Structure 1
Amino acid sequence: MTKKTGSLRRLLRFLRPHLRPNRGLVVGGFAAMFIEVAVRVIEPWPLKFVIDAVVAPGAAADSGIVVLLAVCAVAVLAAAGIRALAAYFMTVCFALAGTRTMNTVRGRVYAHALRLSLRFHNGSRAGDLINRLVSDVGKMRDVAVTAAMPLIGNCVTLVAMFTVMMFLDWRLGLVILAAFPIFLLFSHVSSRRVTRAARVQRAREGDLAGAASESFSAMKLVQAYTLEPVLESDFASSNSKELREGVRATRLAAGLERTTDVLVGVATGAVLLIGGMSVVRGHLTPGELVVFVQYLKGAFKPMRDLAKYTGRIAKALASGERVLALLEERPEVTDGTQDLGRPSGRVSFRGVAASYDDETVALENVELDVLAGERVALVGHSGSGKSTLASLVLRLQDPSEGVVEIDGRDIRDCTLSSVRAATSIVLQESVLFAGTVRDNIRMGRPTATDEHVAWAADVADVTEFAERLPDGLDTVVGERGDTLSGGQRQRIAIARAILRDARIVILDEPTSGLDATSAGTVTDALDRLTAGKTTLIVTHDLEDALSCDRIVVLERGRIVEQGTPEELLGRDASRLSILNRSADRAAAGGPR
Structure 2
Amino acid sequence: MAGFRTRFILAILCMLAGTGLRFLVPLVASGTIDYALQSGTGQSRVVDFFRRTVEQDWLAGHLWAAGLVIFGLTCGAGLFNFMKGKLAAEASDGIARKLKNRLYGHLQRLPMRFFDKAETGDLVQRCTSDVETLRMAISTQVVEVSHALILMGTAIPLMFMIDARMAAVSFALIGPLIAFGYFYIKRVRYLFQLFDEAEGKVTAVVQENLTGLRVVRAFRRQAFEIEKFSGPNQNYRDLGLRLIRLMAIYWSISDFVALSQNALVLGIGLHFISSGSLTVGTLFAFIMLLNLVLWPVRQMGRTLTELGKSTVAIGRIEEILEEAEEGGTPDHGLPTGRGHILARDVTFSHQEGQVALEKVSFEVRPGETLAILGPSGSGKSTLIHLLLRLYDYQSGSIQFDGVEMKELDRIWCREQFATVMQEPFLFSKSIIENIRLGRPSAREKEITRVAQMAHIHETIHSFPSGYKTLVGERGVTLSGGQRQRVALARALLREAPVLLLDDALSAVDTETEEIILDALRKRHGKMTTIVIAHRLSTLSHADRVIVMDQGKIVESGTHEELCRSDGLYRRLWHIQNKEEPGGMEPFTMKN
CA apart distance, 1:63: 5.8
Change (3 A) 1:227 1:591: closer
Q: Counterpart in 1 of 2:14? A: 32
For the 8 Å contact 2:127–2:317, the answer to whether it is kept is: yes
Change (3 A) 1:580 1:440: farther
Q: Counterpart in 2 of 1:354? A: 348
Q: Which moved more, 1:388-397 or 1:400-409?
A: 400-409
Residue 554 in 1 paired to residue 548 in 2?
yes
Matches of 1:474 and 1:429 in 2, distance apart? Answer: 23
Change (3 A) 1:122 1:280: same
Q: Counterpart in 1 of 2:160? A: 166
Residue 305 in 1 paired to residue 299 in 2?
yes
| Among 312, 337, 358, the residue aligned to 2:330 | 337
CA apart distance, 1:313: 3.6
Residue deviations 1:163-188 (CA, integer Å, cap 9, x gap):
21122233333344443442233222
Q: Which moved more, 1:211-220 or 1:262-271?
A: 262-271
Could you list the runs of 5+ residues in structure 1 that have no partner in the other structure? 1-18
CA apart distance, 1:101: 0.7
Change (3 A) 1:268 1:464: same
Residue 440 in 1 paired to residue 422 in 2?
no
Matches of 1:200 and 1:381 in 2, distance apart? Answer: 43
Q: Counterpart in 1 of 2:52? A: none
CA apart distance, 1:283: 4.7
Residue pairs, 1:271-282, within 5 angstroms: 271-281=265-275
Matches of 1:397 and 1:403 in 2, distance apart? Answer: 13
| Among 97, 100, 103, the residue aligned to 1:103 | 97
Change (3 A) 1:164 1:455: farther
Residue pairs, 1:419-568, within 5 angstroms: 419-524=413-518, 526-527=520-521, 532-568=526-562
Matches of 1:398 and 1:580 in 2, distance apart? Answer: 37
Matches of 1:573 and 1:42 in 2, distance apart? Answer: 96
Matches of 2:59 and 2:174 in 1, distance apart? Answer: 40
For 1:202, the aligned partner's letter is D
For the 8 Å contact 2:345–2:396, the answer to whether it is kept is: yes
| Among 321, 324, 327, the residue aligned to 1:327 | 321
Change (3 A) 1:103 1:582: farther
Q: Counterpart in 1 of 2:375? A: 381
Q: Counterpart in 1 of 2:116? A: 122
SS state of the match for residue 352, structure 1? Answer: strand
Q: Counterpart in 1 of 2:25? A: 43
CA apart distance, 1:531: 5.4
Residue pairs, 1:379-418, within 5 angstroms: 379-418=373-412
Matches of 2:162 and 2:571 in 1, distance apart? Answer: 97
CA apart distance, 1:112: 1.5
Matches of 1:554 and 1:323 in 2, distance apart? Answer: 42
CA apart distance, 1:476: 0.9
For 1:335, the aligned partner's letter is G
> In terms of Rg, which structure is larger?
2
Residue pairs, 1:71-150, within 5 angstroms: 71-150=65-144
Q: What's the TM-score once normalised by structure 1's chain length?
A: 0.90
Matches of 1:558 and 1:86 in 2, distance apart? Answer: 73
For 2:327, the aligned partner's letter is T
Residue 569 in 1 paired to residue 563 in 2?
yes
Q: CA RMSD in A?
A: 2.8
Q: Which moved more, 1:447-456 or 1:244-253?
A: 447-456
For 2:492, the aligned partner's letter is I
Residue deviations 1:541-581 (CA, integer Å, cap 9, x gap):
21122121111122222222212222222223434435678
Q: Counterpart in 1 of 2:53? A: none
Residue 192 in 1 paired to residue 186 in 2?
yes
SS state of the match for residue 344, structure 1? Answer: coil
Matches of 1:544 and 1:427 in 2, distance apart? Answer: 16
Matches of 2:116 and 2:314 in 1, distance apart? Answer: 23
SS state of the match for residue 376, structure 1? Answer: strand
SS state of the match for residue 351, structure 2? Answer: coil
Q: Counterpart in 2 of 1:55? A: 37
SS state of the match for residue 44, structure 1? Answer: helix
Change (3 A) 1:90 1:582: farther
CA apart distance, 1:86: 0.7
CA apart distance, 1:363: 1.2
For the 8 Å contact 1:345–1:534, the answer to whether it is kept is: yes
For the 8 Å contact 2:460–2:466, the answer to whether it is kept is: yes
CA apart distance, 1:199: 1.1
Residue deviations 1:117-153 (CA, integer Å, cap 9, x gap):
2222232222221122222212222333233323322
Matches of 1:24 and 1:529 in 2, distance apart? Answer: 60
Q: How many residues align?
A: 571
Percent identity at matched positions?
A: 28
SS state of the match for residue 330, structure 1? Answer: coil
For the 8 Å contact 1:378–1:553, the answer to whether it is kept is: yes
For the 8 Å contact 1:191–1:310, the answer to whether it is kept is: yes
For 2:330, the aligned partner's letter is T
Change (3 A) 1:76 1:529: farther
For the 8 Å contact 2:343–2:360, the answer to whether it is kept is: yes
Matches of 2:4 and 2:231 in 1, distance apart? Answer: 44
Q: Counterpart in 1 of 2:151? A: 157
Matches of 2:338 and 2:173 in 1, distance apart? Answer: 78
Change (3 A) 1:42 1:578: farther
CA apart distance, 1:298: 1.3
Matches of 1:273 and 1:589 in 2, distance apart? Answer: 96
Matches of 2:575 and 2:279 in 1, distance apart? Answer: 100
Change (3 A) 1:306 1:450: farther
Change (3 A) 1:531 1:151: farther
Matches of 2:76 and 2:354 in 1, distance apart? Answer: 69
For 2:197, the aligned partner's letter is A
Residue deviations 1:78-137 (CA, integer Å, cap 9, x gap):
111111111111111111111111111111111222222222223222222112222221
| Among 8, 20, 40, the residue aligned to 2:2 | 20
Residue deviations 1:6-39 (CA, integer Å, cap 9, x gap):
xxxxxxxxxxxxx212223222212211111111
Matches of 1:91 and 1:169 in 2, distance apart? Answer: 33
Matches of 1:583 and 1:521 in 2, distance apart? Answer: 20
SS state of the match for residue 548, structure 2? Answer: strand
SS state of the match for residue 334, structure 1? Answer: coil
For 2:199, the aligned partner's letter is E
Q: Which moved more, 1:447-456 or 1:490-499?
A: 447-456
CA apart distance, 1:462: 3.1
Change (3 A) 1:341 1:456: farther
Matches of 1:525 and 1:367 in 2, distance apart? Answer: 29
Q: Counterpart in 1 of 2:290? A: 296
For 1:371, the aligned partner's letter is R
For 2:243, the aligned partner's letter is A
Change (3 A) 1:461 1:515: closer
For the 8 Å contact 1:441–1:493, the answer to whether it is kept is: yes
SS state of the match for residue 491, structure 2? Answer: helix
Could you list the runs of 5+ residues in structure 2 that have no partner in the other structure? 44-55, 580-584
CA apart distance, 1:524: 4.4
Matches of 1:296 and 1:218 in 2, distance apart? Answer: 59
SS state of the match for residue 477, structure 1? Answer: coil
